[in-house]
Amino acid sequence: MSEIVSSKKLTKIYPGRIKVKALEDFSISVMPGQIFGLLGQNGAGKTTFIKILLGITRLTEGSFSLFGSNEYNHLLKKNIGYLPENIQFPEVFTARQSLAALARFYEMEPSLIKKRTGELFELLGLEKIADRRAKTFSKGQNQRLGIARALLHDPDLIILDEPTDGIDPVGRKEIRTILQDLKSKGKTIFLNSHILSEVEMITDSVAILHKGKLLRTGTIHELTHENTHFEIKISRGLTLEEENSIVYLEKISEKLYRYNGSEVTELNRIIDKVRNLEILIEEITLRKSNLEELFIKTINADERVN
Ligand SMILES: Nc1ncnc2c1ncn2[C@@H]1O[C@H](COP(=O)(O)OP(=O)(O)OP(=O)(O)O)[C@@H](O)[C@H]1O
Ligand SMILES: [Mg+2]
């Protein structure tokens, strides 16, 4: 299967009196049907990458492809839905008129426009305000309308720049469900986000971008399982001799030990040895880092090197 989005050694320098290198040798690939998260601090280069994909800004060096094609064309763009950051709608239009105008641009039939906009207003909880001017919308309502706009023409690739920005916790959960439903229909979703706990819940793969450079990429499982270990709390401390007799068991504190691995057979061997010493196991906890911990560790390690 070929990638839906890929970039190779992509570099972007914004020209001007003070040049800004927003991306440097940035290479990633997103497979069909994935939810992919691009993570990074403010100014890392996330929006720049999206803008390059969409032809809004030009790359300086390197290349990218969409749907396996290096050539940018009009038809391709029609198969992409996009939510920009801080989306703004025309002042004079109601929400319904805004979507209808865009639907006509996509050459959708009037009956389909009516059906599709109705469905999306319901999906995003906007039915009651659909005939109000979008400029009167709250931040979260505006954002919901932006998501409806990105989904309007039922595109196969959906690119969302901070989709849950300004949305309350209940709404965020609803959006997660919507994204998961889209994935189950075979859609590919590319999102930028700062909300790592949320990203961890829905994405298949992520890339960590820092000051324009790719630091890590992989599935959530690959990235968060690196530091997996078990903590074992026992009823009494081990003597030095006992400690030496149990390989792979490391002392943390008086009655707390650690097995640096996730191998269940090995864990049970350790438990057997401890139990043979007539010691009780009081607690066993599987510890793994979450995405936020991994993100901060990765960024800090890079800061120390550079
Ligand atoms: N038009 C521009 N001209 C000059 N520099 C720019 C331009 N647009 C962005 N930049 C700079 O490029 C870098 C990357 O910006 P970008 O908007 O891609 O970051 P981001 O990761 O999306 O950040 P945020 O999380 O705050 O949205 C920043 O240093 C920014 O100041
Ligand atoms: Mg941005």
Query: Given the CA of residue 48, which atom of ligand 1 is nearest to it?
Result: 18
The verdict on residue 275 lying in a domain is yes
Checking if the pLDDT of 227 tops 80, the result is no
The residues whose Cβ lies within 5 A of ligand 2, an ion, are 46-47, 85
Q: Whose CA is nearest to atom 6 of ligand 1?
A: 14
Q: Which of 130, 154, 178 is the last residue of a domain?
A: 154
Mean pLDDT of 167-175: 89
Q: Which of 106, 130, 154 is the last residue of a domain?
A: 154
Mean pLDDT of 53-67: 94
For residue 228, the model assigns a pLDDT of 84
User: Domain residues for 111?
Assistant: 80-154
Mean pLDDT of 195-201: 90
Q: How many CB atoms within 10 Å of residue 5?
A: 24
pLDDT digits (tens, 9 = 90+) for 82-107: 999 999 999 899 999 999 999 998 99
Q: How far apart are CA 295 and CA 292, in angstroms?
A: 5
Q: How far is CA 25 from CA 165, 206, 215, in A?
A: 28, 17, 11
38: enclosing H helix or E strand:
strand 35-39
Checking if the pLDDT of 306 tops 80, the result is no
For residue 1, the model assigns a pLDDT of 63
The verdict on residue 129 lying in a domain is yes
Q: 106 alpha carbon to ligand 1 midpoint, in Å?
A: 30
Name which residue leads in pLDDT, 269 or 69. Answer: 269
Mutate to test the pocket of ligand 1, among 20, 21, 59 (most ligand atoms within 8 A of CB): 20
The verdict on residue 164 lying in a domain is no
Continuous H helices in 68-107: 74-78, 95-105
pLDDT mean across residues, the chain: 93
Q: How far apart are CA 94 and CA 267, in angstroms?
A: 62
For residue 2, the model assigns a pLDDT of 87
The verdict on residue 251 lying in a domain is yes
Pocket of ligand 1 (CB under 6 A): 14, 20, 22, 40, 42-48, 85
For residue 128, the model assigns a pLDDT of 96
The verdict on residue 133 lying in a domain is yes
pLDDT digits (tens, 9 = 90+) for 63-75: 999 998 887 666 6
Report how many domains make up the chain.
Answer: 2
Determine which of 51-65, 116-130, 219-233 has the lowest per-residue pLDDT on average: 219-233
Q: 253 alpha carbon to ligand 2 midpoint, in Å?
A: 44
Mean pLDDT of 42-64: 95
The verdict on residue 214 lying in a domain is no
Q: Which of 154, 172, 197 is the last residue of a domain?
A: 154
The verdict on residue 39 lying in a domain is no
Q: Determine what percent of the chain is predicted with pLDDT higher than 70.
A: 98
For residue 93, the model assigns a pLDDT of 94
Mean pLDDT of 32-53: 96
pLDDT band at 28 (very low <50, low <70, confident <90, very high): very high
The verdict on residue 68 lying in a domain is no
Checking if the pLDDT of 187 tops 90, the result is yes
Q: What is the CATH number of the domain that holds 282?
A: 3.30.70
Determine which of 29-33, 221-225, 243-247, 249-253 has the lowest per-residue pLDDT on average: 221-225
From the CA of 84, the nearest ligand is 2
